[in-house]
Amino acid sequence: MERTVLHSDLNNFFASVECFLNPSLRGHPVAVAGNPELRHGIVLAKNYEAKKYGIQTGEALWQARQKCPDIIFVPPHYDKYIEYSEAVRSIYNEYTDQVEPYGLDECWLDVTGSSRLFGDGCTIADEIRGRIKKELGVTVSVGVSFNKVFAKLGSDMKKPDATTLINKASFREKVWPLPASDLLYVGPSSAKKLALFGIHTIGDLARADRRLISSLLGKNGIMLQGFANGDDTSPVALYSDEAPVKSVSCGNTASRDIRTLDEVKIMLLSLATKVSERLRSYGFFCRTVQLQVRSYDLDSYMRRSKLPHPCRTSEEIYKTALELFIKNHRDNIPVRSMSIGATDLISATGEQLSFEPELCRIQRRENLESAFDALREKYGSSIITRAVLMTDPELCTINLKNTPGILPGRMNTNEK
């Protein structure tokens, strides 16, 4: 039996919620924006009226104001977005228990077993769209297909408030002429490599020589070529399933431009300490440290490095992140924000002791930091800290318990 998979994507979710809650905003160009005074002065989301002026997610507020002098900036209300997201998912769960979130605003639904009750995929999609619009005041675009990849592609093809069907009989006509970058998991870097060899569309990718794709993108390329040909059998998870944790991270936007290496060290040490504590809290070691740096002009880069041994001590995470910074950062370019991620996680269950001197040192450090965790848990996060972090508290102001940092494997945090 052919599967029926839906992908629902709430249109301009953050901005739509703000406009619904504040009717005076409707019909005006609106952008949900960070706080300029706290150095978060970028566009987080925008409505369709703002899009007409070319407003882009991630651009500075002054740039958006230049494009549209009349734009209205509103602060984000994440509690409301979470509330709306949960309300939408409760509607989805009335049609199937196979509801897999992909961020706050997107979900896959497998409605294969629901057709006898509610009709075919397009009928279910239209009914869901109507209910969300009527009951919650926001709109959603839905893709209907025989797999997850094409269902997501369908939800992107018509916006806002539309249903798009991509079936087995016609997917080549609908999908293959689209740019390769439209396909799920084809990022800018992969698209650039493919373009160098004349592979510009999804159809080009589907028909390309398998050996060429493998040489360009490795195993990931073979997977992407399979997707382009409609070969995706990945299941839609049950809503009750807990998403596997893929990374633990922490980032901070500085209250001022960071210009010296000493300031960089303080901020990295602060972030490494928080990532380390989170790893212990969730029972993981990491094998890779990832550093993301954004400069004052919003140019950014990400680098990663393998650790010699799986660990979770702040000392090792900090040392690796600092090495990445020194190796990759251009001289005299002020830094606006940084984040450290711990990836390639493995469970700490069944940890083995070692007599190797370096591992013994790491184990001693681990025991010490675990004792610090216990003190902070009992007496508060400020009860014990490194002296060097107290020399510049402005760079170390993140509250560990209130800052999101656990990223599930199927979580997408990009608001469009």
Distance CA 140, CA 182 (A): 19
Which residues share a beta bridge with 72?
30
How big is the CA angle at 141 (ends 138 and 145), to the nearest 5 degrees?
150
Which of 317, 366, 360, 313 is CA-nearest to residue 338? 317
Distance CA 24, CA 87 (A): 23
Which of 106, 277, 315, 369 is flagged as catalytic?
A: 106
Dihedral (CA of 191, 195, 199, 200) sign: positive
- Residue entry with tokens 């539309």: 162
Q: At what angle do helices 357-379 and 314-328 cross, to 10 degrees?
A: 110
Contact predicate 202/175, CB 8 Å: yes
Name the token pair of 8: 């629902």
Query: Taking the C-alpha atoms of 195, 197, 203 and 206 in order, what is their torsion angle to the nearest 10 degrees?
Result: -120
SS3 call for 183? coil
Name the token pair of 159: 């916006």
Distance CA 339, CA 316 (A): 16
Question: Where are the extended beta strands (E) located within 197-299?
Answer: 245-258, 284-295
Name the token pair of 349: 């269950």
* 106 carries an active-site annotation: yes
Contact predicate 142/153, CB 8 Å: no
Question: DSSP assignment of 7-73, as one string?
Answer: EEEETTHHHHHHHHH-GGGTTS-EEEE--GGGT--BEEEE-HHHHTTT--TT-BHHHHHHH-TT-EE
Residues with catalytic roles: 106
